[in-house]
Chains A and B, each alone.
Chain A
Amino acid sequence: MRLFVVDDAAKIQKSYDDLLHDINVKRFEFFNEIQPSNIYETFLNLIISILFEKEVGFALKEEPSEKTTNYSIIENTYKFSDIDSVIEKVMQAQQWKLILHTSGTTGIPKKVSHSFHSITKNIKISAQRSEDVWALAFNPRHMAGLQVFFQAFLNKNTLVNCFGLPKESIFKSIDKYNISHFSATPTFYKLLLPCSEKFESVKQITFGGEKFSDTLKVQLEKIFPSAKFNNIYASTEAGSLFSSYGNYFSVPENIEQFVKIINNELWIHKNLLANTNDFTLYDAWYPTGDIVSVISENPVTFTFISRKNEMINVGGNKVNPHEVEEVILQLPGINDVRVFGKSNSLMGNVLCAEIVSNGISEKEIKSFVKLQLPEYKVPRIIKFVSNIHQTETGKKSRR
């Protein structure tokens, strides 16, 4: 009996047989706005929406759940003999639409509409992948979590929920379910540190959502000695676009004509974007706000520097918080750090840092950074905290 999803914290353990059984019932309660609920219910509703080609989205947390407005009953005429025929039918989806909201770190959340093809275009399905066990380390209601869901489901893999769990529970799950694949933000991986154990079952570690850090990779290699590391560029607007085995992304030939870099900012042609009226396009091109540095041409290869709006202006000097975080992380005894700007009448912004550490002083941190970076990149206000605040998508908050 193959497991479909497990969430030990919520005491959920559902097999593919359970899923098949629940899909084959005669009548469904179907939500066109999926309510915040357990991950099994979420994915069941999602699969049903695809099977019946019904447009679906996720209810925003703030809204009160009004069952009557987005709730309907589906009379099921399908009878699936096994889960393979379910997956086959899912793969044939034509009309199905998924409405997502961008995370809104750049302003008001935007509505985007994905088709089955646009959301799964980078999902890899093969016989070799049939034994993979995926950790779900992203919010399942957002693009990245959905990518992980489809990758696992379409290969009939087990998906183990690790999103928002303390590291002890995550380590326990790795051993218990032999998790082989992780896809998560650097912030998620940082929260696994420090760790003296080793987990041989993990074969692949994927980074996404934030800048990839070499320091972090070195630390993770010790915990996951059998893992390959890769890096993915994805957004709610475009889905996943590029992947790499380090910090350098190459633009694949098939999408080369739809990607350009202007003043170090990555622009994407509307052909690669989900359908939406909410984006401002300039001659069919969309500025992503991602600042990159071009390493070479033919094929275009670049490295991700920061988000445009993440640059902090300190007295007219632009500070990249990632750069400062990297330097601070080199100090022994630093477990995590968040660098951000606090508005200030004198300098525009004062650079601040929240630091999780064991017993290093403010003075030591400042002198260390000063040795490597110009004065204006040294955080002036340092607060020692027990953990770092994250946004709903698991990224470090920059405000």
Chain B
Amino acid sequence: MENIVQIITRVLENNSKSLHSTINEKSSLRKDIGFDSLDLAELTVIIEEEYGIDIFEDGFVETVGDIYKKVSK
């Protein structure tokens, strides 16, 4: 979970976006964290490189917890 948060923070940082609330499992990637589709695509590539899992391969991912569930399967 901690690593996922780190990746999310890194994507925000690299794209000069700031975070307005703390990240937890229930944080919505779009609404709370403010990701757009390009940010999500970038996130997907990084997670795939680290975990070998394409989080958008089979449907939709809404929250940070959804990602965590997929990578810890």
Check if A and B associate.
yes
Closest CB in chain B relative to A324 CB, distance in Å: 14
B14 and A344 contact, CB distance less than 8 A? no
Question: In the complex, what distance in Å separates the CA atom of A347 from the CA atom of B45?
Answer: 11
- A350 partner, pick from B14, B15, B36, B45, beta carbons under 8 A: B45
A367 and B16 contact, CB distance less than 8 A? yes
B15 and A366 contact, CB distance less than 8 A? yes
Judged by a CB distance under 8 angstroms, whether A172 is at the interface is no
Please provide the chain B residues from 12 to 58 with a CB less than 8 Å away from any CB of chain A in the complex: 13-16, 36-38, 40-42, 44-46, 54, 56-57
- A366 partner, pick from B14, B44, B46, B57, beta carbons under 8 A: B14
B45 and A363 contact, CB distance less than 8 A? no
Question: In the complex, what distance in Å separates the CA atom of A342 from the CA atom of B42?
Answer: 11
Judged by a CB distance under 8 angstroms, whether A375 is at the interface is yes
Please provide the chain A residues from 346 to 365 with a CB less than 8 Å away from any CB of chain B in the complex: 346-347, 350, 352, 362-363
Closest to A363 in B: B14
Q: Which residues of chain B have C-beta atoms less than 8 A from A342's C-beta?
A: 45
A344 and B15 contact, CB distance less than 8 A? no
A344 and B41 contact, CB distance less than 8 A? yes
Given known pairs A345-B44, A345-B56, A346-B56, the reply for A315 and B16 (CB within 8 Å) is no
Q: Which residues of chain A have C-beta atoms less than 8 A from B16's C-beta?
A: 363, 366-367, 370
Given known pairs A363-B13, A366-B14, A367-B16, the reply for A315 and B44 (CB within 8 Å) is no
Interface residue count for A (Cβ, 8 Å)? 20
Q: Which residues of chain A have C-beta atoms less than 8 A from B44's C-beta?
A: 344-346, 350
Question: In the complex, what distance in Å separates the CA atom of A380 from the CA atom of B10?
Answer: 12
Which of A350, A376, A378, A380 lies at the interface centre, i.e. has the most chain B CB atoms within 10 A of its CB? Answer: A380
Contact with B along A124-161 (1 / 0, CB 8 A): 00000000000000000000000000000000000000
Which of A346, A367, A375 lies at the interface centre, i.e. has the most chain B CB atoms within 10 A of its CB? Answer: A346
Closest CB in chain A relative to B56 CB, distance in Å: 5
Secondary structure of the B side of the interface? Answer: helix
A345 and B57 contact, CB distance less than 8 A? yes
Closest to B39 in A: A380
B38 and A380 contact, CB distance less than 8 A? yes
- A344 partner, pick from B13, B36, B45, beta carbons under 8 A: B45
Closest CB in chain A relative to B34 CB, distance in Å: 14
Closest to A344 in B: B41
Question: In the complex, what distance in Å separates the CA atom of A382 from the CA atom of B45?
Answer: 11
Closest to A375 in B: B38
- B42 partner, pick from A315, A367, A380, beta carbons under 8 A: A380
Q: Which residues of chain A have C-beta atoms less than 8 A from B36's C-beta?
A: 375
Question: In the complex, what distance in Å separates the CA atom of A121 from the CA atom of B41?
Answer: 49
Q: Which residues of chain B have C-beta atoms less than 8 A from A376's C-beta?
A: 38
Q: Which residues of chain B have C-beta atoms less than 8 A from A345's C-beta?
A: 44, 54, 56-57
A315 and B57 contact, CB distance less than 8 A? no
Given known pairs A380-B45, A381-B42, the reply for A346 and B37 (CB within 8 Å) is yes
Q: Which residues of chain B have C-beta atoms less than 8 A from A366's C-beta?
A: 14-16
Question: In the complex, what distance in Å separates the CA atom of A345 from the CA atom of B41?
Answer: 8
Q: Which residues of chain A have C-beta atoms less than 8 A from B41's C-beta?
A: 315, 344, 346-347, 350, 380
Q: Which residues of chain A have C-beta atoms less than 8 A from B13's C-beta?
A: 363
Q: Which residues of chain B have C-beta atoms less than 8 A from A370's C-beta?
A: 16
Closest CB in chain A relative to B52 CB, distance in Å: 14
Q: Which residues of chain B have C-beta atoms less than 8 A from A381's C-beta?
A: 42, 45-46
Closest to B49 in A: A381
9 smallest CB-CB distances across A and B, nearest first, come from A380-B42, A347-B41, A346-B41, A345-B56, A346-B56, A350-B41, A362-B14, A363-B14, A345-B57
Other than the known A347-B41, A350-B41, A380-B45, what 19 A-B pairs have Cβ atoms closer than 8 Å?
A: A315-B37, A315-B38, A315-B41, A345-B44, A347-B37, A350-B42, A350-B45, A362-B14, A363-B15, A366-B15, A366-B16, A367-B16, A370-B16, A375-B38, A380-B41, A381-B42, A381-B45, A381-B46, A382-B14
Between-chain CB contacts (< 8 Å), 24 pairs: A314-B38, A315-B37, A342-B45, A344-B41, A344-B44, A345-B54, A345-B57, A346-B41, A346-B44, A347-B37, A347-B38, A362-B14, A363-B15, A366-B15, A366-B16, A375-B36, A375-B38, A376-B38, A378-B38, A380-B41, A380-B42, A381-B42, A381-B45, A382-B14
Residues of A in contact with B (beta carbons under 8 Å apart) = 314-315, 342, 344-347, 350, 352, 362-363, 366-367, 370, 375-376, 378, 380-382
